[in-house]
A and B are shown apart, each in its own frame.
Chain A
Amino acid sequence: MRRLCLRQNPRAKLMPSLQDIQSALMHDIYTGERTSAKYLADNMAGNPDRLDIYFNNNLLILTDFLATVYPVVVQLVGAEFFKTICRHYIPVHPQPSGDLQKCGADMSAFLATFEPAQKHPYLSDIAKLEWAYYQATTAADATPVSFDVLTHLAGSGQDFALTLHPSAQLLTFEYNAADIWHAHQNLTVETELELKVIAHSLLVARNGAHEVIFKHLSEHEVLFLSACKAGAQFTEAMNNVANAVQNDVQMATFQQDFAALVAADVLTQVQ
């Protein structure tokens, strides 16, 4: 029989390309399938059962990593259910680059629609905050703009542009996510916390002392920071706010808030 089948014998076909092998092996590691078995050695060292070593290792390491990024989600749902979440999340959101720290970006969106998690409707918000927290700790360095530089720029007569520090993220939440997050930082205290549906904007950023800060934003701060983020010149961003405020008191409040943003190292100059 073997003689007659020689043409179809997988060992006798064209050598597979490196792309074929890598595409199949990567597929198997994320699905648990065995499509790469045909490329393996014909002896014990090519036993397709050994694909499980890579499959299990991938799931284990990524789950452990996601647990370090999402510790409050783990506390809220328990370690076992978090593993279930990861088992479903990882195959559809594989590690996107060779930098492990970039893995997990889609957890908030995933939890918003993951059916078994719908009894915790605030989970998506918590995941969004934890991802932002992690990004704030690991984001690239950049020199924040100081009051001195700002004064100099404003006095120069030329317009300029500010943007958000790489660690600074402008986010909106439906629930009081920051309250829930804070309540879960101190595990020794039993905290009774009221869950509130309260849509709001929050800035998450790393300050000069490498601490992550959460700052509730007024609508005028959001207006200003959104304009900066979109590439507006400083004058235009300020004019947006000037057109939106109702009175001098609101403008004075915004100016105080703006000073606080500068003091928190949240803004950098666009060079």
Chain B
Amino acid sequence: MTSNPLYSGLEKSGLEKSGIGLRAPHVDELIAQRSPVGFLEAHSENYFGGGKNRAQIREIAEMYPVTLHGVGLSLGRADGLDQDHLRQIATLAKEIDPLFVSEHLTWSGYSHSHVPDLLPIPFTNESLDVFAQHVNDFQDAVGRQILVENPSNYLAFADLDYSETDFLNALVEKTGCGLLLDINNIAVSANNLGYNPEDYIDNIRTDAVKQFHLAGYEVKPQPDGTNIYLDTHGLPVYPEVWKLYKRALKRFGDTPTLIEWDTDIPALNVLEAEAAKADVIRREAEAENGHAPFVPASKPESQTHA
């Protein structure tokens, strides 16, 4: 087994170094001086408008490899995608030429109501048809493969046809989408819904994972005596999650990795250190697993951001 074969043709360098989520408090600093991180991930919806924000994301995309990560398209909604939302992401993607465009295995809008959250979908045959149709619509709109991320869930539905991993695997089969595996979300959902996180990793197909997310959760004791893990992205990555990450690196090979931090956002160097920690684990994993070191395809000299 070699490093993740899905990357052999990628024409952007630097992905052997892990990235961090692009957050407002760090934007000026990231523009003033090139950070050593491998890439930056922008939340698509934060850059829908014009003005200073839009100018800054263009500047960032000139300096760094960037991924576009959506939180509001609501791919799992039963009543059809918001075409305007889709157009806005497509326009933005055309403008900044991201490495990946990703969204979540969730829904967040129905009819005229939306939530700033990622809601669970019931893993039924109907949901799979709806979700696959929307992934296809999304891929058509942006003219490229998209990645779908496993979410943090707090609730499960009755009468399911699939487990989450079977649902994701089937979605790849039906649409040709890639997967963004959030290792923290696996730990969070496994705790909250009562399954084994290692089994989850072992059940994901090996031919589709193109990116990992890492983050910190918070533990909140419930009145009924159980503990809920909340996906707050407000703390360093837990040892338990680093352990799962090593398992994922062994299964999927070396894969671009991103540190997410959304609440109590620390100084940039704290995030850079967390990304560097992931890099050390990646290099160790390559040595242990006998993988060839991750060698991104060299960037052609003529390549520019269109």
Contact = CB atoms under 8 A, between A and B. Distances in A.
A53 B50 CA distance: 34
B45 A30 contact: no
B78 A17 contact: yes
A94 B114 contact: yes
Contacts of A97: 72, 82, 84-85, 109, 114
Interface string B85-121: 1001000000000000000000111111111110101
Contacts of B109: 97-98
Given A19-B78, A51-B155, A99-B45, A58 B116 contact: yes
Interface string A2-24: 00000000010001111101110
B288 to A, nearest CB: 35
Given A15-B124, A58-B116, A40 B51 contact: no
Contacts of B111: 23, 26
B78 A39 contact: no
Interface residues on A, range: 35 or more
B157 A41 contact: yes
A36 to B, nearest CB: 9
Given A54-B117, A58-B115, A61-B117, A98 B194 contact: no
Interface stretch (A69-77, A137-145, A215-223, A241-249): A137-145
A208 B109 CA distance: 35
Interface residues of B, number: 54
A17 B122 CA distance: 10
User: Which of B48, B53, B115, B194 is most buried by chain A, counting CB atoms within 10 A of its CB?
Assistant: B115
A140 B50 contact: yes
A78 interface: no
B217 to A, nearest CB: 13
Interface stretch (A42-50, A108-116, A228-236): A42-50
A252 to B, nearest CB: 34
Contacts of B42: none
Interface of B: 45, 48-55, 71-74, 76-79, 82, 84-85, 88, 107-117, 119, 121-122, 124, 126-127, 130, 154-159, 192-194, 222-224, 226, 228, 230
The 7 closest A-B pairs by CB, nearest first: A98-B72, A141-B50, A138-B49, A45-B156, A18-B78, A94-B113, A41-B156
30 contacts: A17-B126, A18-B122, A22-B77, A23-B110, A25-B119, A29-B115, A29-B119, A39-B158, A41-B156, A41-B158, A43-B156, A44-B226, A46-B156, A49-B222, A49-B223, A49-B224, A53-B154, A58-B116, A61-B116, A62-B116, A65-B116, A94-B112, A95-B114, A97-B72, A98-B82, A138-B48, A138-B51, A141-B50, A142-B50, A166-B50
Interface of A: 11, 15-19, 21-23, 25-26, 29-30, 39-47, 49-51, 53-54, 57-58, 61-62, 65, 94-101, 103, 137-142, 166-167, 206, 210
